Structure 1
Amino acid sequence: MQNYEDIKLELIKTGKFMMEYGLAWGNAGNISARANEDHYLITASGTFLGELEPSDLVRCSVSGQSESYGKKPSKETPMHQAIYQKRPEINAVLHASPFYSTLIACSNIEIPSNWFVETMYYLERIERVPYCHPGSQVLGEAVAEKAGEANILLLENHGVLVYDTSLKEARMALQTLEMACKMLVTAKGANIELEGLAEEAVKDFLVNAAYKPRRKW
């Protein structure tokens, strides 16, 4: 694992990336990264992701306890905690409300994963989490139930939760998700029928293309 200072710099970089590419807005959203088996860093409550400072990152234990005497961790800590507890290989969690992804999360539209290379890999499995009040323990429990079934969760009438083995991979997954949702909404509005790849082609890609190691579910 990286040291805490390096992780803070990577989280700051991630916050700026999300703002620059329209993946976050206002003070909505929160991000975290695992520091070791027992601890992770998460953005403080009310922070603006585009202007994070090292002091905006709060250390928490995976058991859920804040270990800072300064700022409070994000109220969405129960979701992050649930992921780190259920998925020990996960090292980064991003929660945001990008426009197109959140639009889809507020609908019953399914997001195809068979359009192109990035969707086949990053969007291989997407699950929905029924609406629970943001920051509630109930939401954390609902996320825990779905954590092992996907690496992207659509939080109905709320936003999205993306988690992966590194902040870089999580950023790419979030950006791919938003691009796919934008394509989906745009195509529907223009009456364009998008053609996906056959199931056999998708399976062959995931197993044999060596684009990235196959995910272990």
Structure 2
Amino acid sequence: MSEKNDETEIWERARADSGEAFAELFRRHREAVFRRALALVDRTQDAEDALAVAFFELWRKRRSVLLVDGTVLPWLLVTVANTARNQRRGGMRYRRLLAAMPRSDARDAEHEAVQAIETEVLGIRLREVLATLDPKDAALLTLTALDGLTVADAAPLVGLKAGAARTRLMRARRRLQQDLGSNPSHIPWFLSEGERA
């Protein structure tokens, strides 16, 4: 073994918490450790991750790691190989899990996303428009459409007779329909269906 390859002095400084010495070891062995990792994984990113883990473990275990023939390279190569194999096994498990999961068609997913956004926007607009109604009209609409009461049951709760409540509810629905737009898909079901008696 040549003195050039002897890392005993650098390793002793690294073990004594010298970041500079550890950086020197990284510079010396990065390429060899990376090549070993790359031979065992599918993606460059995975090899870089394995490289980082190997050097992190070297730093973490620096008090117990022993040099082989005056260098830490053998320890690093074994560690990166184990790390890369574990990553590969983990990646295979992950890919099998993904393959087993039910998939929705991309168009279906896009359609669902658009519908969710439209529903959220409609909810905001509906709250804004409801806030502009007379409080009794808004209460009537809520009681009949959301709480499921008949107009006759809801009327006395807001201080109206059934006939007056029916007229006010019809006007409130018409106003909401106008304010929300004429596209039928943008009109909530409770604004387009007839009143419950």
TM over 0.5, yes or no?
no
More strand by share: 1
The structure with the largest helix share of the pair is: 2
Q: TM-score, normalised by structure 2?
A: 0.25
Which of the pair has more CA radius of gyration? Answer: 2
TM-score w.r.t. length of structure 1: 0.24
